[in-house]
Every structure is written in structure tokens, then in C-alpha cells.
Amino acid sequence: MSFKKHLIISTLIRVFLIYYGEVQDSLSDVQYTDVDYRVVTDGANHVLALGSPFKRHTYRYTPLLAYLVLPNLLVHPSFGKFIFSLFDILIGVLIKWILLNCYRSNKISIETKLLKLETLNNRNKYLIKRKNEILNSNNEALPPKYIRMAEISAYCWLYNPLTMIIATRGNGDCVSCSLVLLSIYFLLKNEQTIVQYFVAGLFLGLSIHFRLYPIGFCLAFYLATQNRTLEKWHDIVRSILKPNPKQIALVLGTVVALGSTSALFYWLYGYQFIYESMLYHLVRKDTRHNFSLYFYLQYLSSTFDVTVLEKVLTFLPQLILILMLTVRYGQHRQTLAFGLFAIAFVMVTYNPVVTSQYFVWFLSLLPLCVKNFRNIGIRKAVFIPVMWFISQGGWLLPAYLLEFKGWNTFEFIWIQSIVFFFSNVLILQMLISNYDIAYNYKID
């Protein structure tokens, strides 16, 4: 079956889920539609009345999201779900494009080195034959098995039930994920022109405007554009202080996109835009829909103000891990995708607030790394997702009893939050230990 047919099938599944959600909403107390979807739609209603979306209580997103779902009020209440599902499908397409580009990049690099072999080595009949094939072929062409691998990786996203449900429930995180993948696509393009790095920066800046989490990717993006391996800390500092033209273009694009959108909405909505869409997320507490290790602490201290020391101690572990992962994987184009995945995984796992839609932050990057996990083995490949879903299910049961039955299950939720946290830590450790950069393009 062709990739286009898979796109059609995965699109039809999402359309079915959207219509199924309307039926469930009308029949069940457990609503299929995400509560945030209703909040964003209410914000769009204020925008339609030429007001501020922040007049809607708990609207804490970019105003662009409210503009995006204006058809909810003009066409159909579920129109925004179709928009988010299109971005969801776009992510699958981008995964294939990025991987094909990475394979081509490795192919061209390897074959260029082969062409530069010394004359003495070229006496080998195989090398002479291979060189002639290379010189007479198109360097952009890839063997079918690599195209197939890129498509299989895309299917890991397109047919992922969790990501499909999150998008069709009306969550807009797939928009920021698609912008992140667009920035990766342009950053890793083979041409390596100044313009492409500027465009990559534009998409990175837009993704940060939609969601703050891509800020954690900035240093990795920056280091991946340098032309040599940085082995010592002073080399990294020197690279930051003395940027090359590619890095300047990347930073300029990011600043232009993030600065222009932020300035525009600050002019329209004032300080309330800055606080609600950005600053609030630094002090946010969530004592209901929260997988976080810090859930019970937030519940017990919900009537107290957050101290500076508490925020520092909360964010310090993930900041240290993000920095370590960035230096280890972020400064190489070949390992950038895995570095971004690991960074996103750490940000979600260690965050004071963790909800289901946050999972798409790293799940959208995981398919880019699938080809490098061939040595993981069938047992681990089955064990990892099973453990992840079971640890989630263990949390969801007491959370359901608390919210819908009114049972006092806070302590059980706290215990399950701890289990879920350590499950994530174990999963990341297993993925890092089984990640193999050698599984890229190879000359047959």
C-alpha cells in the first residue's frame, strides 16, 4: 500500500474519531472533547466580537490559537478539530521528509568520501565499479529500503492511537509540534544555505510563541549549525560567543518570528497577553489533571504562594539534564533528532505540570529515532510501551474516582505519580543505552 493511501486511511480514522466524540459528548458524563477546546472556542468568540481572548477565564494560549478556531463559530463547532487533525497528519508527512533528507545527507557524505580515496586504493575492482556507478547516478536517489524505513517511521505517528485521540479531542499541541518539525526539516536540509537557517529560525520562533517548551531546543539547534565537534566546555562557550553566519541566521529568524508575534499581541492585548500566555506557565499549579511527581506537593501547598527557592529546586534537575543532553547529542546533525526527543522527554517527565497532551511533544520526535533502535530487541520493544501505558492507567483510575465519584484518592494518585515518574526515567535510560548512531545510510 502506498504512503498516500496510508495518509487517506489515517485521515479517515481521525474523521471517525471526531464524529464519535460528538456522540460520546452527548451520551456520557466523561466528555471526549478536551476542556481546553471549549476554552479556546470561547476565546475565539471574544475575538469575533473584537475583544480580547483573555477575557475568557483560563485562556492561557497564544491569541493565534483563537484565530485558528474562528470557523468553530462561523462554520461548525468541530471545525477546529479538523484543523488540528490536519496538523496531526502534517507531522507524519514531515517525519518522512526529514528522514529521507537525513538518509540522502548520509549517502552523499559517504559517497563523497569514497570518491576521494587515494589512487592506490582505487585499484580495487569493487571500488572502481562503485565509483563509476556513483559518477553516473543521481546522488538524490535512495534505495527502496530506506524510503520504506522513513515511511514506517511516519506510520508510528499516523497510527498512534494516543496522538490521534489527543488531536481529535481538540488539543492544539500538534500545531507547535508541526512547527518544531518544520524547523528541524529546514535546519537539516542538505543545501545548508543561510536562507534555510533563517527559515528554520522562523519556524522555531513561531513554535516557541505557540508553546514555551521549544525554548529547551534552542541551544541544541544553535550548536548543530557549527562546523566542528566541540569536546570541551570552553569550546562550546567560544562557539556561542563567536557565532558563524549560519548561527546568526538561525538566531535572527527565531528573534524575528518570536519578537514580531509577541510585539503584535502585546500591542493588541497589553500585559495580560504576556502574563497569561507566558509568565503564568512558570508559576502554574494543577491539582487535578496532573501526572507530575510534584502533584501532591502542589495540592498540599495550593493555598500558599510559590517561593523562588521552590521554583529553582523544581526546575533545576531538568535544566541540568537538558544541558547535558544538549552537549551530548545536540551538537551533531546526525544525533540532533534524538537529542531533541530526549530533551522533550525530560521536560515532560520533570515538569511541575504534566497532562496527556504534553506527551505529543516527545512522541512527535520519537519516530525520527526509530531507525537507530534496531538493536533494542523484541522484549524491550514490547516492554517499554506496555510499562508506559500501564503506569498511566494506574494513575488514571484513582484520578477518575476523585473527579467523577468524589472519592478521596489523593494519596493513591501521588503514589501513581511516583510510579509514572520512575517508569519514564527507566524508559529514557533504556532508550539512551540502546541508541545506535551507526544505523544510518550504508553503501551495499
Contact 83, 76 (CB under 8 A): no
| Integer CA distances (angstroms), 377 to 132, 381, 430, 441, in order | 38, 6, 11, 21
List, for residues 338-395, the tens digit of each pLDDT value: 999 999 999 999 988 888 889 999 999 999 998 888 788 888 888 999 999 998 888 8
pTM score, whole prediction? 0.89
Average pLDDT over residues 274-302: 76
User: How is residue 58 annotated by DSSP?
Assistant: T
Query: Given this model, what pLDDT does residue 442 score?
Result: 57
What whole-number distance in Å separates Cα of residue 116 and Cα of residue 245?
Answer: 28
Burial of 337: CB neighbours in 10 Å, binned 0-12, 13-18, 19+? buried
Q: What is the average pLDDT value for the chain, to the nearest integer? A: 85
Those residues with Cβ within 8 angstroms of residue 310's Cβ, 6 or more apart along the chain or in another chain:
none
Please state the length of the chain: 444
Those residues with Cβ within 8 angstroms of residue 358's Cβ, 6 or more apart along the chain or in another chain:
173, 348, 351
Distance of CA 292 to the CA centre of its chain: 18
Q: Is the pLDDT of residue 231 over 60?
A: yes
Query: Given this model, what pLDDT does residue 412 score?
Result: 86
Query: Given this model, what pLDDT does residue 444 score?
Result: 47
What whole-number distance in Å separates Cα of residue 442 and Cα of residue 284?
Answer: 48
Sign of CA dihedral 40, 41, 46, 48: positive
List, for residues 115-171, the tens digit of each pLDDT value: 555 444 555 666 556 555 554 554 456 778 888 989 999 999 999 999 999 999 999
Task: Give the best-scoring range by mean pLDDT among 82-86, 238-242, 305-309.
Answer: 82-86
Those residues with Cβ within 8 angstroms of residue 248's Cβ, 6 or more apart along the chain or in another chain:
none
What whole-number distance in Å separates Cα of residue 312 and Cα of residue 323?
Answer: 16
Average pLDDT over residues 172-188: 94
Average pLDDT over residues 320-345: 91
Q: Who has greater pLDDT, 204 or 399?
A: 204
Contact 284, 354 (CB under 8 A): no
- What percent of the chain lies above the pLDDT cut of 70? 86
Nearest to 151 by CA among 96, 211, 209: 96
Those residues with Cβ within 8 angstroms of residue 261's Cβ, 6 or more apart along the chain or in another chain:
62, 64, 205, 206, 209
Q: Is the pLDDT of residue 218 over 80?
A: yes
What whole-number distance in Å separates Cα of residue 313 and Cα of residue 46?
Answer: 38
Angle between helices 245-269 and 194-210 (to 10 degrees): 30
Q: What is the distance in angstroms between the CA of the first residue and the CA of the last residue of the chain? A: 26
Nearest to 23 by CA among 15, 31, 34, 12: 31
Q: Is the pLDDT of residue 105 over 90?
A: no
Nearest to 181 by CA among 154, 162, 159, 163: 154
Contact 333, 315 (CB under 8 A): no
Average pLDDT over residues 42-49: 92
Query: Given this model, what pLDDT does residue 107 score?
Result: 66
